[in-house]
């Protein structure tokens, strides 16, 4: 089974601050994923600049195979010095691994990373290094299917200090909370959200510190094909559907005409549900051999709204979708389950849309924006036009 890495992060700003003092940067080059979570000294603008510089410099250097000693030395020489404390200071956690789960984790002054393995939270074995007078910890990575690395800023362990908890949220308690609430089927972003949301609750929605969690997960590749609209040339219908079905682990059809074309090709009846789980989203349909059949433009519009919310770092609503309307079912497959997504976009003009404020250009823009958002989630997205 082919494996791949996915990543996600969520974050809350210190109460009263517009900018977050933490920053996460990730890069994918070929088989390798590099992710850095940096936490700048203090909060606000200065911390934001420190963490942004740290994460971008470190991620770029590490992704280009530069030795960690050189990376840290460059950081120390590059970061501006704080006049009050006399130090140039930003902590960091750096993950670099390939799609087989081999790689390394380096940590400097951030809370120790949590290793989610076989449904339980545990620790990585760490080697202590001295680099330019700084203590940096290194862990070799040898990840297995559905393993997750969770790195975090110190806002997590400070959560609740002086409010609900006297001494903050201890690491052991964090791991126990995650053991109870994480599920192996969750995406990396959903897992990060579980921890950030719990910290925000302990802060009573007024975080005393910037709090950021990033997760990297190794998981089986899942190819999803989604068909939106019929092709311009009716003679190509069968050829179009063959390409759409080929190599897909899950198939989705959006739009009435597309559904009829696929049903005809499969020689199966197209049935429509009469349930309206959400009055603003048209009901779904059913074709044997297709995983999900939905209405077109209205459902995709709602899906776009859901994707914007899902991508928002500060949105702490659960990332798993339990509602049964077409847009929520689509979101669960595309945002939570899929790793590789192929859009098959038919450019035929829909007669049913004549006289309505829906045209082919609008549909294209909708699909392109969706594709852009899903790439921002770390998905590999390809667009095919017919």
Residue extents of the structural domains in the chain? 3-219, 223-385
Number of H helices, E strands in the chain: 9, 18
- pTM metric for this prediction: 0.90
For 182, 203, 212, 254, 262, the CA distances from 200, given in Å and listed in that order, are 17, 5, 10, 37, 46
Residue 375: helix, strand or coil by DSSP?
Answer: helix
pLDDT above 90 coverage of the chain, percent: 74
Strand partners, 285: 272, 293
Q: For 279-295, write each residue's pLDDT tens digit.
A: 899 999 999 999 999 99
Beta carbons of 168 and 160 less than 8 angstroms apart: yes
Asked if 360 contacts 349 with a C-beta cutoff of 8 angstroms, the reply is: yes
Is 362:254 a contact under the CB 8 Å cutoff? no
- Assess if CATH 3.60.40.10 describes domain 3-219: yes
Whether residue 256 is predicted with pLDDT greater than 60 in this model: the reply is yes
Whether 258 and 367 have beta carbons less than 8 Å apart is answered as no
Give me the pLDDT at residue 260, please: 94
**pLDDT value of residue 233:** 82
The top-scoring range by mean pLDDT among 44-53, 155-164, 175-184 is 175-184
């Amino acid at each position: 089974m082919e494996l791949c890495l996915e990543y996600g992060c969520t974050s809350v700003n210190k109460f009263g601050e517009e900018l977050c003092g933490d920053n996460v940067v990730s890069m994918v080059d070929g088989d390798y994923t590099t992710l850095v979570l940096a936490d700048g000294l203090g909060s606000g603008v200065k911390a934001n600049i420190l963490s942004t510089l740290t994460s971008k410099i470190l991620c770029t250097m590490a992704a280009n195979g530069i030795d960690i000693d050189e990376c840290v030395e460059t950081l120390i020489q590059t970061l501006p010095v704080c006049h009050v404390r006399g130090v140039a200071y930003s902590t960091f956690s750096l993950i670099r691994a390939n799609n087989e789960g081999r790689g390394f984790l380096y940590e400097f002054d951030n809370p120790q990373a949590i290793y989610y393995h076989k449904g339980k939270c545990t620790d990585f074995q760490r080697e202590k290094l001295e680099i330019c007078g700084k203590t940096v910890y290194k862990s070799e990575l040898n990840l297995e299917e559905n393993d997750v690395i969770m790195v975090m800023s110190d806002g997590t362990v400070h959560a609740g200090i002086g409010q609900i908890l006297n001494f903050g949220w201890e690491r052991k308690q964090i791991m126990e909370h995650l053991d109870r609430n994480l599920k192996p089927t969750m995406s990396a972003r959903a897992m990060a959200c579980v921890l950030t949301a719990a910290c925000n609750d302990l802060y009573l929605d007024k975080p005393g510190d910037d709090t950021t969690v990033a997760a990297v997960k190794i998981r089986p590749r899942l190819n999803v094909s989604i068909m939106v609209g019929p092709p311009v040339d009716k003679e190509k219908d069968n050829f179009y559907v063959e390409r759409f079905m080929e190599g897909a682990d899950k198939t989705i059809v959006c739009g009435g005409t597309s559904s009829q074309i696929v049903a005809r090709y499969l020689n199966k009846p197209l049935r429509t549900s009469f349930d309206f789980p959400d009055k603003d989203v048209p009901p779904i349909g059913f074709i044997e051999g297709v995983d999900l059949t939905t209405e077109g433009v209205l459902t995709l519009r709602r899906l776009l709204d859901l994707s914007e919310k899902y991508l928002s770092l500060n949105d702490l609503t659960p990332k798993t979708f339990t509602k049964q309307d077409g847009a929520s079912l689509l979101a669960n497959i595309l945002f939570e389950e899929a790793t590789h997504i192929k859009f098959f976009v038919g450019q035929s003009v829909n007669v049913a849309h004549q006289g309505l404020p829906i045209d082919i250009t609008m549909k294209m823009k909708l699909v392109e924006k969706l594709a852009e958002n899903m790439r921002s989630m770390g998905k590999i997205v390809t667009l095919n036009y017919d």
